[in-house]
């Protein structure tokens, strides 16, 4: 399932996939695969993404 919440949060902060990737220490491809729903990130990576975007795990990764 695509992670549109992550994509929207990243765009709201005016960050490219590359910007977010550099901030959390992964490749741009990893961020792209998470957004496309083709990669299941570790909890550590999820927390790093949340901290960078100023959001909670529930806001970005919880499925309704």
d(CA 33, CA 48): 16
Q: What is the pLDDT of residue 43?
A: 96
- The CATH number of residue 51's host domain is 1.10.260.40
**Is the pTM above the cut of 0.95?**
no
Q: What is the pLDDT of residue 9?
A: 97
Range of the domain at 32: 4-61
The structural domain count of the chain equals 1
Q: How do residues 11-64 score in pLDDT, each as one tens digit?
A: 999 999 999 999 999 999 999 999 999 999 999 999 999 999 999 999 999 887
| Two tokens, residue 30 | 């990893």
DSSP assignment of 12-62, as one string?
Answer: HTT--HHHHHHHHTS-HHHHHHHHHT-----HHHHHHHHHHHT--HHHHH-
**Backbone conformation region of residue 23, classed left if phi is above 0, alpha if psi is from -120 to 50, else beta:** alpha
């Amino acid at each position: 399932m695509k992670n549109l919440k992550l994509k929207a949060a990243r765009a709201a902060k005016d960050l490219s996939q590359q910007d977010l990737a550099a901030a959390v220490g992964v490749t741009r491809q990893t961020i792209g695969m998470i957004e496309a729903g083709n990669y299941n990130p570790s909890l550590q990576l999820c927390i790093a993404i949340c901290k960078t975007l100023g959001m909670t795990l529930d806001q970005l990764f919880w499925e309704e």
